[in-house]
């Protein structure tokens, strides 16, 4: 069982998008049973809140529901619970390394590092969930390729 945790600042826009896109991809690849996929926030800002309507709307266009997902904050002991802990941007990576006190097992990655580098566009600031979705699909697709 491969355990993957996606991480962003608020856990309402980018990391839940990555969580549900990745779940959909592994299901469609017939590999759903081999994965545990979740997402969390580096901040407590949005804890308990549902997925942002922009992410929900974009995923609904692709037949993906985020029903039942509410923002949770990343905890120090999550480091031991997952095989891969994947941030959306450089700021998330710095926050995680601070919380975990480093990355002794080499689990902390940035999503677009699987697809040539860069940060996932942050729709909280741009309002552009299309661009974020394209980035997330590119990253998750490359991530899945790296695992299968
Ligand atoms: P996310 O987007 O990190 O992709 O969930 C944001 C959500 C909330 C805030 C910033 C980004 N905020 O400043 O509260």
Radius of gyration of the chain (CA): 14
Tokens 């809140």 correspond to 49
What was the pLDDT predicted at 14?
Answer: 98
Structure tokens at 94: 């710095």
Tell me the pTM.
0.98
- Which atom of ligand 1 has the smallest separation from the CA of 15? 4
What was the pLDDT predicted at 125?
Answer: 87
Contact 45, 11 (CB under 8 A): no
Tokens 């994947």 correspond to 86
CB neighbourhood size of 32 (10 A): 13
Instruction: Dump pLDDT digits (tens) for 24-64.
Output: 999 999 998 999 999 999 999 999 999 999 999 999 999 99
Q: Which helix (H) or strand (E) holds 20?
A: helix 14-28
The whole-angstrom separation of Cα 45 and Cα 141 is 29
- Going from N- to C-terminal start, the domains of the chain cover 2-147
What was the pLDDT predicted at 148?
Answer: 84
Q: How far is the CA of 58 from the centre of ligand 1 (A)?
A: 17
The pLDDT confidence band at residue 85, using thresholds 50, 70 and 90, is very high
List, chain by chain if needed, residues with CB within 6 Å of any ligand 1 atom. Answer: 8-14, 45-46, 122, 124
- Which atom of ligand 1 has the smallest separation from the CA of 132? 4
Instruction: Dump pLDDT digits (tens) for 97-134.
Output: 999 999 999 999 999 999 999 999 999 988 999 999 99
Of 6, 10, 55, 91, the residue with max ligand 1 atoms within 8 A of its CB, to mutate for a pocket test, comes to 10
Closest protein CA for atom 12 of ligand 1? 10
Contact 96, 85 (CB under 8 A): yes
Contact 19, 38 (CB under 8 A): yes
78 is catalytic: no
CATH topology of domain 2-147: Rossmann fold (3.40.50)
């Amino acid at each position: 069982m491969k355990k993957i945790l996606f991480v962003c600042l608020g856990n309402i826009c980018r990391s839940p998008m990555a969580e549900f896109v990745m779940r959909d991809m592994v299901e469609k690849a017939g590999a759903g049973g081999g994965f545990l996929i979740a997402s969390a926030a580096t901040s407590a800002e949005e804890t308990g809140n549902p997925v942002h309507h922009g992410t929900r709307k974009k995923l609904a266009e692709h037949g993906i529901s985020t029903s039942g997902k509410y923002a949770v904050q990343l905890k120090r002991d999550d480091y031991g619970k997952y095989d891969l802990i994947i941030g959306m941007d450089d700021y998330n990576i710095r926050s995680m390394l601070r919380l975990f006190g480093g990355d002794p097992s080499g689990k902390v990655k940035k999503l677009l590092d699987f697809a040539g580098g860069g940060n996932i566009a942050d729709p909280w600031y741009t309002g552009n969930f299309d661009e974020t979705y394209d980035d997330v699909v590119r990253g998750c697709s490359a991530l899945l390729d790296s695992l299968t």
